[in-house]
Amino acid sequence: MEIYGIDHVELYVGDARQAAFYLGHAFGLQIHGQGGPETGLPDQRSLLLREDAVQLVLTSGLAADHPAAAYVQRHGDGVAIVGIEVGDATAAYGELVARGARGLQEPVRSEAGETTVVIAEVAGFGDVIHRLVERHGPRHEFLPGRIHITEPTCGPDEKLFSEIDHLAICVPSGELEPTAKFYEDVFGFPRIFEEYIEVAGQGMDSKVVQSPSKHVTFTLIEPDASRRPGQINDFLSWHAGAGVQHIALRTSDIVEAVGTLAGRGVNFLGTPSTYYDALPDRVGEVDTPIEDLRELGILVDRDHWGQLLQIFTESMHVRRTLFLEIIERRGAMTFGSGNIKALYEAKERELAGADL
């Protein structure tokens, strides 16, 4: 089974146009297509946002019994479908079901001109679905016959992001090992990293699974039930179960990206100024002025392969669930475990001050 990467992420949201307006004007992700009853997608409105290899689909239900409406009622706005590009969707679907995945939609073929797209769906974690996507021909089309491709909407023209680096997924206590084993045994994703982290009386376990191509990466996290409840518990409560906590967007210049986003009104989790005083001793020389990192609140970590620069947005949602990470890899292959304490402390301050 050939797995190439994350094809797209579909979010179920209360108002697709409102969400697209924010992501377009703040993050530069512009509308490239739309679908609805007129394109064969009954009782829903879907908008396709693109930048480079980042593809987000925003879907709102137009009827109370549509799956998107039920999802939003239970979870709030969030990731409902993770599209994974494969070499052969029919073969992948059969293989995954044979290995124990629950099949949801058998392969369906769509064509437009020289473009052919085959999709199938299997159940993932919680209420999240994995859509297997096989593509042939020009990639301008997204889903022929269902999403009508349009000229990009006017908006910021900076190209800040290149791809989805990884998804961070929270699962209830006791479900981490079974979830990791599911991706290992069914999808063939080996575990590449795991650790236990304790911060201020809170604890969490994490395991990272990754496709052999290295382009699909899931960071799985569960709270330690024996420790004081914290933000992972809050996510699971407010989201009503397992779900994607954040989407990490890869950039080649995090200083430019964060400066641009901050100028458009994006709020980031704050980092104590003292964090930067010890930074050179902890990670070595950084090829970016420390004062630039301090001013923007960008975090830095190091592993055996290089450095990682990252920052996390505040959640855009009333439930304080889903948020975004901006990440630049300078050789590093891990996920900033050295910054977890700073992230936890910043997130705790955000939640303590939130008007819920």
**Distinct helix (H) and strand (E) counts, the chain:** 9, 17
- Neighbouring CB atoms inside 10 A of 240's CB total 16
- List Cα–Cα distances, 88 to 108, 146, 344, in angstroms: 12, 20, 41
133, 93 in Cβ contact below 8 A? no
What is the rounded radius of gyration, in angstroms, for the C-alpha atoms of the chain? 20
- Residue 181 makes CB contacts below 8 A (sequence gap 6+) with none
Question: What is the spatial distance between Cα 213 and Cα 187, in angstroms, rounded to a whole number?
Answer: 12
Reading the block at residue 153, the tokens are: 């909407």
Reading the block at residue 78, the tokens are: 């969030």
Reading the block at residue 277, the tokens are: 């005083």
Q: Residue 210: what are its φ and ψ, rounded to 5°?
A: -145, 140
Residue whose tokens read 């989407």: 247
In sequence order, the β-bridge partners of residue 246 are 168, 323
Query: Is there a binding annotation on residue 166?
Result: yes
- Of 167, 147, 168, the residue nearest 50 (C-alpha): 147
- List Cα–Cα distances, 48 to 26, 100, 155, 163, in angstroms: 16, 31, 15, 15
Q: Residue 351: what are its φ and ψ, rounded to 5°?
A: -70, -35
Query: Is there a binding annotation on residue 8?
Result: no
Query: Is there a binding annotation on residue 246?
Result: yes
Burial class (CB in 10 A: 0-12, 13-18, 19+), 182: buried
Helices (H), 249-316: 254-263, 279-283, 290-296
Question: What is the spatial distance between Cα 287 and Cα 266, in angstroms, rounded to a whole number?
Answer: 25
Q: Per the annotation, where are the binding residues for Fe cation?
A: 166, 246, 325
Binding site per annotation, positions = 166, 246, 325
